[in-house]
Amino acid sequence: MSVSVTVVYREARMDLRKVSANCWELPRSGGMRVPGRVYTNAELLTALKREAAGKGGALQQVANVAHLPGIVGASMAMPDIHWGYGFPIGGVAAFDWEEGVISPGGVGYDINCGVRLAGTQLEARAVAPQFEALADALYRAIPAGVGTGGRVKLSAKEERRVLTEGSRWAIEQGFGHAQDIEHTEDGGCLPGADPEVVSARALKRGAGQLGTLGSGNHFLELGVVDAVFAEAEARAFGLFEGQLTVLLHTGSRGFGYQVCDDFLAGMTKAMRSSGLKLPDRQLACAPIQSSTGQRYLAAMACAANYAWANRQVLMHLAEETLQRTLGMGPRDLGLRLVYDLCHNIAKKEVHTVAGREQTLCVHRKGATRAFAPGHPALGPAYRQVGQPIIIPGDMGTASYVLVGTEGAMGETFGSTCHGAGRVLSRKKAKQRSRGRQLHRELADRGVTVRWTGRATLAEEMPEAYKDIEAVVDVVHRAGISRKVARLKPLVVVKG
């Protein structure tokens, strides 16, 4: 079956009905097949409504996604919602595996962009005198910035192994530790990857970028656990107050971007011959069971595996740098991976819908998996306690560790937010930062920062993001994830 799109610019009504203090519903209207559901609070919602008063913004995108064939339950948005390509960033949508569609816009350009958190056995205050030296050393050791190449140069054969093996390939090459696999979502390897469906251009872009941080909101950060909210879960995750931590955020780099671009172009072209009416061309999609849908899933898995290998290499480089700069061995540093998880992905999962189990394709775009204790997809390390969730904030405030809940399994297909979420465009952030010495402002907050791009600090200024405390409070109070610990940034390296 081929699917194409006729664009109809008829907005759904933006009248939101309050379900609870932290959840609002956008009723079905026009061609919406399901309602929209937005997890937020009154204060955050005010800004969303202000945006919607113009062209509809991210709320309109929630309604747009609800038009897609095979969508189940509701088109959802987390409190970090902001405008994205086709789907809102912070969006969650699940589609029937047999009758539904797959949409690259519901995954995003940076496939398996994700975060990776490790704890050390050191107290942050013990190494505070060396923060400047650590910032310099990490900046030199971690390749970052637009188009940057890494130290790992892949042959064609090895690149294909990366695309099919993910984290396992990196560990076999000496990057990290065998036990890291147990602490990585899906064991660091999504099944079904097929390099044969990937374009030559994507392969070329991926060959030289493994082990690189990228630019924009990607970062490597040394932090401190400054608060623990759930003692048992924190112990299970290996976290304690005052602990020095390592957090990094990056994805599949130019390889994933090219995979997305290639399939968006192909799907958009193919969809012109069908009568399916959708409100936005950026919702280009294909039936999951079509040859195009299966090829995209195979290529997406390649990009996901590339991203997991990338973060595996980067954390190893960070560990080596810490050891060298602090003059200690691996035992003294005691670096241990807490978890690595993705927030731009579509996955085949089984969920209970209307009282019965249903196989779905769950799109999480700027959203994080939040599986509850006992879920069979969790490895033995965390099956009893629940999945660790890592929510990075802006570089001047805080990040959070949460844990998955039964509430998420029942309401959001096991999903929660992925970060603070932008509130200012990069252009507006640069305008607001003119004349300011942002690195000095961050230093006054106790944050040592190093950066590559000339405009990076301006685009990523703390005010460009929503209040991470408010965003995390929403998902905590809504019961779709639960707070475990808060991390404060100390040293930040930006691309």
Residues labelled catalytic: 418
Contact 60, 52 (CB under 8 A): yes
Q: Which of 208, 253, 294 is nearest to 110 (CA)?
A: 253
End-to-end CA distance of the chain: 43
- Which two structure tokens, joined as six digits, stand for 373? 């204790």
Which one-letter amino acid corresponds to residue 45?
A: L
Q: Which two tokens stand for residue 402?
A: 């949460």
Helix (H) or strand (E) holding 287: strand 286-287
Residue linked to tokens 């933006």: 14
What are the respective helix, strand and coil percentages of the chain, to the nearest 5?
40, 25, 35
- Quick one: 50 exposed, middle or buried, by C-beta within 10 A (0-12, 13-18, 19+)? exposed
Instruction: Record the tokens describing residue 257, joined without a space.
Output: 């971007």
DSSP 12: P
CA gap 429, 444 in Å, rounded: 20
SS3 409: helix
C-alpha to C-alpha distance for 135 and 122, rounded to whole angstroms: 17
Tokens representing 177? 């530790």
Query: DSSP readout, 317-357?
Result: HHHHHHHHHHT--HHHH--EEEEEEESEEEEEEEEEETTEE
CA-based nearest residue to 299, from 286, 312, 311? 286
3-class SS at 448? strand
Cβ(400)–Cβ(79) below 8 Å: no
Q: At what angle do helices 291-326 and 253-270 cross, to 10 degrees?
A: 170
Q: Look-up: residue for tokens 């035992």? A: 331
| Residue 414 half-sphere exposure toward CB, CA atoms < 13 A | 25
Q: What is the DSSP letter of 130?
A: G
